[in-house]
Chains A and B, each alone.
Chain A
Amino acid sequence: METRAELEISLRQFCRLLLADWLFGDEIARVAASKLPVEGPISNMRVRAFSDLLSLWRDAHENKVPPRPFTDASLMKSLGPPPPDDQTAVLLFDVMEFDTREIATILSADAASAMQMVTNGRAQYASKADGTIVIVEDEPAIALDLQMIAEGLGANVLAIAANAEDGASQILKHKPDAVLLDFNLDGARTGLDVFNDIRDDHDCTVIFVTAFPKELLTGEGSEPDIVITKPYSELCMRAVVAHALSVPQSEVLND
């Protein structure tokens, strides 16, 4: 049975993924979570919560009445429209592991259409990754695999590092659009150390791969933008890299 906390983590993971940004993602996840029932069982709410999230976002975007500044409606409208349904379906299926029946409910479609959306979305992502990436991964075979996935999508892999020191150095040297970080690295320091080393000096989409995703989806301050659970499938990684490199990055006010 899924608890409220687990559902909120799941919403946070998905929203960060959709926006390729932890801050924007956490804000929209917070709005979606505020619509969950205050009391009563939370099990079997996952599909409804994801459906409500996309409905809220769509409604805010389509509302012609300018929202009052600093309200949640203003926040959601400023994000622009949600991603196209085909791409959302891929992220729900390949990354969030919903089945086609659930995706059909979330996207208000029938199951056959949902599977077609997934197929269409994968095709749309196939050569969409127009950007640069640095990979930090200590297993050479996995690093090579990730490189092939990224380059197959059209991304330019600027460097591969096996340990935290080299990882941070390569990221700050190359300033890539995205970073693919594994938690386990050569040496005593982890991918989380790399994230902490670079986050103030280079603003890019951080894709973090870990066996313990909940620890990086707390919603308490600066965390990786996209958190992928280990082990992951090739389809999952393809969807994540393609999406991360296709989302226009917004500016964040740092005052």
Chain B
Amino acid sequence: MSKTLEKIIGFLLLLATILPVSWQSIIETLKD
């Protein structure tokens, strides 16, 4: 796997995990 592809996948994985849970925390806070 090339270095660039590794970086793209890594970036997407970080984006796909941290961002959704962060937004969910807003929704959960507003629910309360």
A interacts with B: no
List chain A positions with a Cβ less than 8 A from chain B.
none
List chain B positions with a Cβ less than 8 A from chain A.
none
